[in-house]
Structure formats: structure tokens, C-alpha cells
Amino acid sequence: MHHRAGRHRRQGNLAVPVRVWQLGLMLAALPLPPLTLPAVAVERPGNGIGRGIGPVIVVQGTGVVTARPDMAVINAGVTSQAETAKAALAAHGEIMARALAGLESFGIAEGGVQSQHVNLRPVYPRQNSNDGVRAPVAFRASGQVRVRLRQIGRLGEMLDRLTADGVNNLSGLHFAVAKPEQLQDRARVLAIREAKRRAQLYAGEAGVELGPVLRIREGGGPGPGPELRAMSASGAGRAVAVGETEIRITVSVVYAIE
């Protein structure tokens, strides 16, 4: 009688236990419970503030520099309406060409005028419940140019020139600094100083030593300038207060705690 547990198969000079091989097949066929592994958080550089680098202090600093604007920016628009699309576009083009020529003679450099796209839309009559398919009764063409004026004192004169040439939509007037780079750098210095002052204050009150800077991130930029909320057809008859504009820079600084 042969005993299965003791049976061996000869392969050369080696005896391979058949029982172990058969047991492996049986285990592979049996359903096994899912293997549960412990959750492991892998720390990587840059995976988050303070991870793997010890305690930190995160502060924000804002630097603000004020300056008198030296440039006015305005959107000058033209809207024309006619019975046909061709006539509306032609009227719009005529007025816009006259306005651009007037800006050139006014002394606005070519780089100070930026043309925008032109929109053409049909104009429909008021809808009646008994009407069928409606047909447009007119067409409306509209477009605008953005004008940058370096001589702010002549702003009222320029507005009068634009309206006299047929411009019927003036909007978005604001004042700005033509070259704000140096002012932005001054605001950055003030922002870093403010962040450092706050970090030193927190560290002193918490009884810890402030370590080196680990990260600096800038967020924010030039603040919006003053805006003219309402303009009459005669710009020269209205006093425009230029005021001051702000250059605002915000930084976030991460300090190590020693």
C-alpha cells in the first residue's frame, strides 16, 4: 500500500515531495481574506508646510506704497444702428476712423491706443404672442478702443474731443502709474519687513527662537486706482480728482522654529 504523504518523485538525484506541491495548489484555489496593511504616511520634501522639517511659523506681510498716477486709461466706445448690417458697420467704421484720427492729432502715440473687437447684433421688435418668425428691424454695431493718456491734465479736453468725433460710450476711466516696477520693489521690501516683525513677535510671545526662512511666496499686486463713476458728455466741464493710487504687495513667509 502506498502512503500519499510519503510518496516522492525521483528527478535525477533529487526527491521532490509531491504532497507539498499539491498543497500549494489547494491554497491557491482557496479564497483568502483581504490583506490589511497599516496606513503609512510617507513624508516627502515639499509635501506640505512643516512636514518633515519640524515646527514652523507662517506669517503674512503686506507692503503698501502710494504714488500720484501719471497716466489715465479710458475705454472709448462707438455704437451705430442702421436698417442693414452693412450700413451699421459702415457708420461704425466712419465714426471710429474719425475718433482715431482725432486722438492722433491730439498727440496720443500709436502705442497709446488699443483697438477692441467689433460686435454686430440684430435688433428685433418686441415679441407679440401672435407673431410668427420675427425678422430683425435693424442692426447694431458696437466696438471700443482703450486709450492711455500720459498728460492727465488734458483729460477733460480729450473727452470733449472724443464726444465731438461721435464717441457715445465712455467707460472704465481709471488712473495708473506707467512704470510701477520701482514702486513694486519698495512694496516688496516693506512686505518682507512686516512679515519678519510679525514672526519675531509671535516667537517672542511663544518663548521660542526664530529660525531661518524656509519659504517666501508672493501674492497680490498693484491695487486698483481711483475710478470715475460718472462722466457727462462734456468732460472739460467736470473736475476730475486724480488722487493717489496704491501699489500693494503681499508675501507669505515660513520661518523655522529652533
Domains plus CATH for the chain?
56-68+180-257 (3.30.110.170), 71-176 (3.30.70.2970)
Q: Which residue has the higher pLDDT, 142 or 27?
A: 142
**Per-residue model confidence as pLDDT tens digits over 185-196:** 999 999 999 999
Predicted confidence at residue 31, as pLDDT, reads: 44
Q: Which residue has the higher pLDDT, 233 or 173?
A: 173
Predicted confidence at residue 202, as pLDDT, reads: 96
Measured at the alpha carbon of residue 206, what is the angle toward residues 204 and 211, in degrees to the nearest 5? 65
The rounded distance, in Å, linking the Cα atoms of 131 and 138 is 18
Predicted confidence at residue 53, as pLDDT, reads: 73
The rounded distance, in Å, linking the Cα atoms of 142 and 86 is 13
The rounded distance, in Å, linking the Cα atoms of 98 and 107 is 15
**Per-residue model confidence as pLDDT tens digits over 31-75:** 434 433 332 222 234 445 545 678 999 999 999 999 999 999 999
Is pLDDT above 70 for 104? yes
User: CA of 17: how far to CAs of 6, 30, 149, 196, in Å?
Assistant: 8, 21, 96, 75
pLDDT over 90, % of the chain: 57
Q: What is the mean pLDDT of residues 78-103?
A: 95
